């Protein structure tokens, strides 16, 4: 399987790293980038992938469109398509937008940056023209770097908010918690490690538990204990409303 990555931004790098770590040979991955050749060559040196300046998409099995959204449709109209798996990871591009210009079918994928460590969550929105074989191929490719879920026109904006945007929300939380520990005497690196490991453990528990989150909170929040007092502060400051509003704003398409 020969993969072409069109674009060399952070998402391209995350996917390339994750795929290589999953066992895909870096020599089967070719990257191209029209705007920042210095970064392209740096990624090639770091990961051992190939680069090209004049890509011919018909030479590849999978073409991942990871450029800025406003360049996607112009790019696909300039290429000669045969029977590739066409994957767009550009926000706000639909499979129908792509399939208006290609006959081989398309899938719009919305991964998040944890795919770099094979712990990502990717939404897959399949076009009307895509074959069952290509559906399976796309699903298998992204399951190498985490979990997948099928989306559609209605659910994709909310998947983007909940999986694609939320890592930034989590980093914001870590950034807000870290000063408490550094003020107490921990160095910044240790403080971040403590919080991140607690988040990681909590995420693992959530992935293996089906009980409501309220019950999970009760497991660790003895009445009037330190956890209970802290949870009350979060509720008094309307954390639930703030998170709801943040997700709804990120999912909004009239931007």
Strands 62-65, 50-51: parallel, antiparallel or unpaired by DSSP?
A: unpaired
Query: Where along the chain do its domains lie?
Result: 3-153, 159-251
The domain defined by 3-153 folds into Rossmann fold (3.40.50)
Is the Cβ–Cβ distance between 58 and 80 less than 8 Å? yes
CB contact at 8 A, 5 and 132: no
Within 13 Å of residue 238, how many CA atoms lie on the same side as its CB?
5
Consecutive 10-residue averages of pLDDT for the chain (255 residues) = 95 97 98 88 96 91 94 93 94 93 93 94 96 97 97 94 92 96 98 97 95 96 96 97 96 73
What is the structure's pLDDT at 253?
74
156-160 contact pairs (CB < 8 A, 24+) = 156/108, 156/110, 156/123, 156/125, 157/251, 157/252, 157/253, 158/247, 158/251, 159/110, 159/123, 160/91, 160/110, 160/123, 160/250, 160/251
pLDDT at 36: 82
DSSP string, 191-210: HHHHHHHHHHHHHHHHHH--
**What are the tokens at 26?**
């870096």
CA distances from 235 to 194, 212, 224, 225 (A): 23, 17, 14, 15
CA distance 29 to 63: 10
Residue 55: what pLDDT? 87
Q: What is the pLDDT of residue 32?
A: 94
Cβ contacts of residue 27 below 8 Å, gap of 6+? 48, 49, 50
> Is the fold of 3-153 the same as that of 159-251?
no
- Which of 88, 85, 86, 8 shows the shortest CA–CA distance to 47? 8
Which CATH architecture is the domain 159-251 placed in? Orthogonal Bundle (1.10)
Predicted confidence at residue 170, as pLDDT, reads: 95
Q: Is the pTM of this model over 0.75?
A: yes
* pLDDT at site 254: 60
Q: Which residue has the tokens 């910044």?
A: 188
- pLDDT at residue 109 in the model: 97
- Pairing type for strands 146-150 and 50-51 reads unpaired
């Amino acid at each position: 399987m020969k993969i072409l990555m069109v674009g060399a931004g952070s998402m391209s790098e995350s996917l390339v790293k994750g795929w290589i770590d999953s066992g895909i040979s870096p020599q089967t991955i070719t990257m191209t980038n029209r705007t920042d050749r210095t970064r392209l060559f740096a990624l090639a040196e770091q990961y051992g992938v190939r680069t090209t300046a004049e890509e011919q998409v018909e030479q590849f099995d999978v073409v991942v469109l990871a450029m800025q959204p406003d360049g996607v449709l112009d790019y696909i109209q300039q290429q000669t398509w045969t029977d590739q798996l066409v994957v767009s990871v550009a926000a706000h591009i639909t499979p129908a937008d792509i399939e208006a210009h290609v006959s081989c079918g398309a899938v719009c994928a919305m991964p998040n940056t944890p795919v770099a460590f094979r712990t990502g969550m990717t939404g897959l929105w399949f076009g009307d023209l895509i074959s069952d074989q290509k559906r399976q191929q796309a699903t298998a490719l992204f399951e190498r770097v985490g979990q997948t879920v099928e989306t559609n026109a209605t659910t994709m904006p909310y998947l983007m908010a909940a999986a694609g945007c939320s890592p930034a929300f989590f980093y914001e939380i870590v950034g807000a918690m870290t000063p408490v520990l550094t003020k107490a005497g921990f160095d910044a690196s240790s403080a971040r490690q403590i919080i991140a490991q607690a988040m990681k453990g909590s995420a693992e528990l959530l992935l293996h538990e089906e009980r409501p989150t309220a019950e999970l909170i009760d497991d660790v929040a003895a009445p009037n204990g330190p956890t209970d007092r802290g949870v009350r502060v979060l509720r008094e400051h309307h954390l639930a409303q703030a998170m709801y509003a943040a997700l709804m704003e990120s999912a909004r398409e009239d931007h």
